[in-house]
Amino acid sequence: MSFSEREHTADVLMHVCGATKQELYEEAGRALFSVMFPLCTRGEVMIQFTLSGKEEERLLHEFLSEILFYAEVECVALYRAKVTLTPSGLSAELFGEPYQRERHGSGTEVKGISLSGMEIKRTDDGWCTLVLFDV
């Protein structure tokens, strides 16, 4: 569905929505990618991982934190996530390309994901939450 940046004094606050919970997770990933790697549009690299957990906000937090981990450790610029929610957590595929400073250096470094204000809520259009990226 969508994500949009909201005003925040020091960090990046995003309002994220999806028609389904799965889409909410994917849009939250896309919001993070738009901050970190605004020029990444290719997917020659794929990373897969699974996470366990049932509390939705914590699972979303862990999912976004895992994206930060892989971006840094694997030295990749990411642009898309495919998420499958399971009864015990989620499985995810991340798509991107090897990080190149001259191509991807225009993004903003995200140091962490805050749980502050993150509350997944059902709306008339699906599911929404606020996500605060610590920059």
Q: Which of 126, 133, 102, 134 is nearest to 21 (CA)?
A: 126
Domain count, the chain: 1
CA separation for the pair 10, 96 (Å, rounded)? 28
Instruction: Report pLDDT for 29.
Output: 98
Instruction: Report pLDDT for 111.
Output: 96
Instruction: Report pLDDT for 116.
Output: 86
CATH number for the domain spanning 58: value is: 3.55.10.10
pLDDT in tens for each of the 135 residues of the chain? 577 676 666 789 999 999 999 999 999 999 999 999 999 988 899 999 999 998 999 999 999 999 999 999 999 999 999 999 999 999 999 999 999 999 888 899 999 999 988 999 999 989 999 999 999
Residue 97, domain extent? 2-134
